[in-house]
Structure 1
Amino acid sequence: MRKSDLINQIADKTGIPKVDVLVTLETMFKEVKESLSNGENIYIRGFGSFITKKRAAKIGRNIKRNVAVEIPEHFIPAFKPSKEFVAEVKLKTSGKTDAAE
C-alpha cells in the first residue's frame, strides 16, 4: 500500500475530503520527524513507539580500497510496535500463505 492508497482508504472510511486527509498525514509525518530529530520519542498507545536508537562507534571497512574507516556514534530512527499491534498482525496473517512459496 502506498501513501495515496492510504489517503483514499481513510477518506472513504471517514468521509473527510482527501485534501484534508493528505494535509493531516503530512503534518503527522513532519511532527514525527521533528520530534525524533530533537531526541523526543513518540508513544502511541495500542499502536507503537517511534524511537531513536543509539549506534555505537565502530570500525568499518572500505572494501574497494581495503582501508579501515571509523564510523562515529550516531542515532537512527526506529519503530517498535505495541503488543496489541503485533498480536493483531499475527492473527490476521496466520491463515495467509506467502506468494513466493
Structure 2
Amino acid sequence: MNKSELIDAIAAKSELSKAASGQALDAVIQTIVQAVAKGDSVSLVGFGTFKSTARAARDGKNPRTGEKLKIPATVIPKFTPGATFKATVAAKGKKKK
C-alpha cells in the first residue's frame, strides 16, 4: 500500500474527504517526525512506539574494494511494534500457509 492508497482507506473508514484525510495523515507523520527528532518517543498503544536511538561508531568495509573505513556514530529513528500489531500480523501469517 502506498500513501495515496492509505489516504483512500482513511477516507473510506473515517467518512472524511480524501483531501482532509491526506492533510490529517501528513499532520500525523510530521508530528511524529518532529517529536522523534527532538528526542521524544511517540507511543500509540497497540500499534507501536517511535523513538530515536544512538548508533555507536563502528568499523566497516567497502564491499567493492575491501577497504576498511570508519562509520561515524549517529542517531537513527526506530519503530517497535506493539503487542496488538504483532499478534495481528502473526495471525494473518498463519492463515496464508
TM over 0.5: yes
Structure 2 equivalent of residue 15 of structure 1:
15
- Partner of 2:70, secondary structure, is strand
Aligned length: 97
Counterpart code for 2:91: L
Identity %: 32
Structure 2 equivalent of residue 44 of structure 1:
44
Deviation per CA, 1:1-57, whole angstroms, max 9, x where unpaired?
Answer: 111111111111221011011001011111111111111111111110011222111
Distance 2:38 2:80 in 1: 18
Structure 2 equivalent of residue 74 of structure 1:
74
Gaps of 5+ in 2: none
Distance 1:68 1:91 in 2: 43
Distance 1:30 1:79 in 2: 15
Q: TM-score, normalised by structure 2?
A: 0.88
Residue 66 (structure 1) shift: 4.5
Distance 2:95 2:41 in 1: 34
Moved more, 66-75 or 38-47: 66-75
Q: TM-score, normalised by structure 1?
A: 0.85
Gaps of 5+ in 1: none
Deviation per CA, 1:51-95, whole angstroms, max 9, x where unpaired?
Answer: 122211111223445433221211111110011110111112311
Distance 1:95 1:65, change over 3 A: closer
Distance 1:6 1:63 in 2: 37
Distance 1:45 1:6 in 2: 20
Distance 1:63 1:7, change over 3 A: closer
RMSD of aligned residue pairs (Cα, Å) = 1.5
